[in-house]
Amino acid sequence: MPGDHRRIRGPEESQPPQLYAADEEEAPAARDPTRLRPVYARAGLLSQAKGSAYLEAGGTKVLCAVSGPRQAEGGERGGGPAGAGGEAPAALRGRLLCDFRRAPFAGRRRRAPPGGGEERELALALQEALEPAVRLGRYPRAQLEVSALLLEDGGSALAAALTAAALALADAGVEMYDLVVGCGLSRAPGPAPTWLLDPTRLEEERAAAGLTVALMPVLNQVAGLLGSGEGGPTESWAEAVRLGLEGCQRLYPVLQQCLVRAARRRDAAAPL
């Protein structure tokens, strides 16, 4: 099978021992459905990237880096009516390229680096959620590259990646309308299921449905939405979206403080 020849691999078909484990793990403990795990966020930690951010929420650890703006490849588009506020015409707007990667040891089973469909889907979700917030019209013919690396998956990985990416863009000094805050939700299977905010990995694995919302808190606009599973009727999904938006609003002050601290650190370190 083509693939990674640099690492010494086990036999073609190797499986983790957990598949053969006899005992079931204990069910996740009951908890307040609206609790958010404590978040540690730090911006401006990578020296080589224009902007970077590290976010840790429970067991989920995400590192995000932004580089650019640099010249976009394939500039064959022509002009058009100019946008408002001195922005470039629509055909010349900048591009946002997002990349989402999982470390091979991030999940329960080892996943070889070219992760295939899932990573591309999450990268597309990142791009669709960040584009409404970034003023791409101010970067004509340029591209901004955002790459998110998931170091450990402890539940709501996409939401954490979204938040980290927005922090990294802000740290890079990219012009934005607002920060994007992400929040994950999951719905347990069973007769009277409720939506749980910010699920842990155990809760996510047993979930019947999962949802990630991305909100721009000041403008109160939903920048991204991705959900699937047996969520039930539309009222149930609407309730989940409301819960998610509320969670995003609660997370916002933490991110503001993180950016202020990063700016102070940058000031203190700047040569006179």
Partner 1 sequence: MLGLVMSYQGKPISSQPLKITVLKEDLRVDGRGCEDYRCVDVETDVVSNTSGSARVKLGHTDILVGVKAEMGTPKLEKPNEGYLEFFVDCSANATPEFEGRGGDDLGTEIANTLYRIFNNKSSVDLKSLCISPREHCWILYVDVLLLECGGNLFDAISIAVKAALFNTRIPRVRVLEDEEGSKDIELSDDPYDCIRLSVENVPCIVTLCKIGYRHVVDATLQEEACSLASLLVSVTSKGVVTCMRKVGKGSLDPESIFEMMETGKRVGKVLHTSLQNILHKEESLGTKRQKVGFLG
- What are the CA-CA distances from residue 138 to residues 143, 153, 174 (Å)? 11, 35, 9
Q: Which is nearer to partner 1, 188 or 211 (CB)?
A: 211
Q: Contacting partner 1 (CB under 8 A), which of 42, 107, 111, 128?
A: 128
46 lines the binding site for partner 1 (CB under 8 A)? no
Contacts of 117 by beta carbon, 8 Å cutoff, 6+ apart: none
256 lines the binding site for partner 1 (CB under 8 A)? no
Q: Which is nearer to partner 1, 72 or 226 (CB)?
A: 226
Sheet (strand 60-71) strand order: 39-43, 51-57, 60-71, 142-152, 95-102
DSSP structure string for 200-215: -HHHHHT-SEEEEEEE
Q: Which is nearer to partner 1, 62 or 125 (CB)?
A: 125
Q: Which is nearer to partner 1, 44 or 231 (CB)?
A: 231
Q: Considering just the CA atoms, what is the radius of gyration of the chain in Å?
A: 20
Please list the alpha-helical segments (H only) found in the chain: 117-130, 157-171, 201-205, 234-269
137 lines the binding site for partner 1 (CB under 8 A)? no
Q: How far is the CB of 128 from partner 1 (least distance, A)?
A: 7
For 230, the token pair is 């047996």
Number of residues that bind partner 1 (CB under 8 A): 42
71 lines the binding site for partner 1 (CB under 8 A)? no
Q: How far is the CB of 15 from partner 1 (least distance, A)?
A: 6
Q: How far is the CB of 118 from partner 1 (least distance, A)?
A: 8
Site for partner 1 in 196-255 (CB under 8 A): 208-209, 211, 216, 219-234, 237-238, 241-242, 245
Contacts of 5 by beta carbon, 8 Å cutoff, 6+ apart: none
Site for partner 1 in 6-25 (CB under 8 A): 15, 19
Q: Contacting partner 1 (CB under 8 A), which of 28, 89, 104, 107?
A: 89
- What are the CA-CA distances from residue 223 to residues 6, 36, 231 (Å)? 40, 20, 21
118 Cα distance to chain centroid = 13
108 lines the binding site for partner 1 (CB under 8 A)? no
Tell me the C-alpha distance between 139 and 75, whole Å: 13
Q: How far is the CB of 203 from partner 1 (least distance, A)?
A: 17
263 lines the binding site for partner 1 (CB under 8 A)? no
Residues that bind partner 1 (CB under 8 A): 15, 19, 80-81, 89-91, 117-118, 120-121, 124, 128-129, 131-133, 208-209, 211, 216, 219-234, 237-238, 241-242, 245
